[in-house]
Amino acid sequence: MIALSELLIEEMRTEDLNEIIEIEEASFPTPWPKRMFELELKSTRSFCRVARVSSVIVGYIVAWMIYDEAHILNIAVHPDFRRMGIGEMVLRDCLDNFFSLGARTALLEVRRGNDEAKRLYEKLGFKSVGIRRGYYADTGEDAVVMKLRL
């Protein structure tokens, strides 16, 4: 068990990507390739941060701000560090930053069967506002669209 006081949330860097890809591949049926993270790191609208404990990356988030909307694209925590509050801290840090930049709503899509993630979002106040049928090409699973008023 780690103490959350040991957790640092910092900007994502290119040299973090090998560690991030390992977490990504352990977390998603169709992981983002490294190139996708590289593009996000170059984009001015992207918010890319990592959570570290003693220099080891344990989680990350990628999000966009479009006008006054925050779009959460990708969040994951290393399987060995889940259920310790890291996902919640990373997401709150992102939402707080976007709020201070003027975002007033946050939006995301999540697989209908991803109960862990849906519970995290509900804990922070997100509500389901729609379904995109067959949204995920790999499994044909529906996406639940969730929204939070910041």
> Quick one: 9 or 77, whose CB is closer to ligand ACO?
77
Q: Largest Cα–Cα distance of the chain, in whole Å?
A: 42
C-alpha closest to that of 48 among 22, 16, 80, 78:
16
Residue ranges with strand state E in the chain: 7-11, 46-53, 56-66, 69-77, 105-111, 127-132, 143-149
CA torsion 61-66-69-71 (nearest 10°) is: -30
Among 120, 135, 141, 145, binds ligand ACO (CB under 6 A): 120
Comparison of 17 and 27: residue with beta carbon closer to ligand ACO: 27
Per-residue binder mask for ligand ACO (CB under 6 A), 100-119, x = binder: --------x-x---x-xx-x
β-sheet bridge partners, residue 62:
48, 74
Site map 17..56 versus ligand ACO, x via CB under 6 A: ----------x-----------------------------
Q: Which residues are catalytic?
A: 109, 121
Q: How many residues bind ligand ACO (CB under 6 A)?
A: 21
Residue 95 binds ligand ACO (CB under 6 A): no
